[in-house]
Structure 1
Amino acid sequence: MAHIVHMLSPSDWDTFEQTGEYRPNSLSEQGFVHCSKPGQIVVVADVAHAHRDEWVLLLLDESRLESPVRYETNEDGGSAFPHVYGPLTLGAVVDSFEFVRDETGFRLPDGMLNYESR
């Protein structure tokens, strides 16, 4: 079972839980939902999402996603990141974790450490 993570605001997570489906702006603007492997998310958060101290990490089971996942590299040819080409649905969410930044940056939540190397 392969796991990927998606980072979203607490208010977006509340809405997702109520509606059962999540369509972030990137889906309409870029055609996909940005995700990461658990071992990638801390670097992504520290670089691209340090403007906010509180996030929610969703642990997703790739096999339960209703939309295709493609691993793609960015323009600089670095690491491949999973992109979901459709909305996220609650059926794919394995767990959710509070993701908080402190004075040193973000840290992978303890409950997610088991999934980091998978």
Structure 2
Amino acid sequence: MPKLPNILHITERSLWEAARERGVYEVSTRGRTLQEVGFIHFSTREQLPRVAAFLYGDDRTGQDDLVVLVVDPARLEAPVRYEAMPPHGEEFPHVYGPVPVDAVVDVERWG
């Protein structure tokens, strides 16, 4: 069975640091939790710049505090589903449960 590619999630550094202390990451997207949305939004490497621009805009203020979590889907217990998002129907990876910090194989500075 081929290895699934890593999936990416952009977030604020403080949210990642808090997750490291708890042992799990549970933020779905900017300002929304896993409990509120039901899944955690992820993207592919190709999708990441557009997702970052959508969530954080072109304003560079505060973007020094953004990081990209690189997650190995094989290390997740929760299901990963690629689902179409409106308006264009592009498929994005969603994780339907918390992300254990040991599933994060790299943390990259954004910007």
TM-score higher than 0.5: yes
TM-score for the superposition, normalised by structure 1: 0.78
Which digits, 9 at most, give the CA deviation of each residue in 1:74-115, with x for residues without a partner? 122431000000011112111001102xxxxxxxxxxxxxxx
Instruction: Give the share of equivalent positions with the same residue, in percent.
Output: 38
Gaps in structure 1 of 5+ consecutive residues: 101-118
TM-score for the superposition, normalised by structure 2: 0.82
User: Structure 2: how far apart are the matches of 1:89 and 1:11?
Assistant: 16
User: Structure 1: how far apart are the matches of 2:102 and 2:13?
Assistant: 19
Which one of the candidate residues 59, 65, 69 is aligned to 2:80?
Answer: 69
Which digits, 9 at most, give the CA deviation of each residue in 1:49-83, with x for residues without a partner? 22642311010001111110110111224310000
User: Root-mean-square deviation (CA), in Å?
Assistant: 1.4
Query: What stretches of structure 1 move > 6 A for 4+ residues in a row?
Result: none
Q: Secondary structure at the match of 1:36?
A: coil
User: Structure 1: how far apart are the matches of 2:23 and 2:45?
Assistant: 23
Matched, 1:33 2:47: no
Q: Secondary structure at the match of 1:81?
A: strand
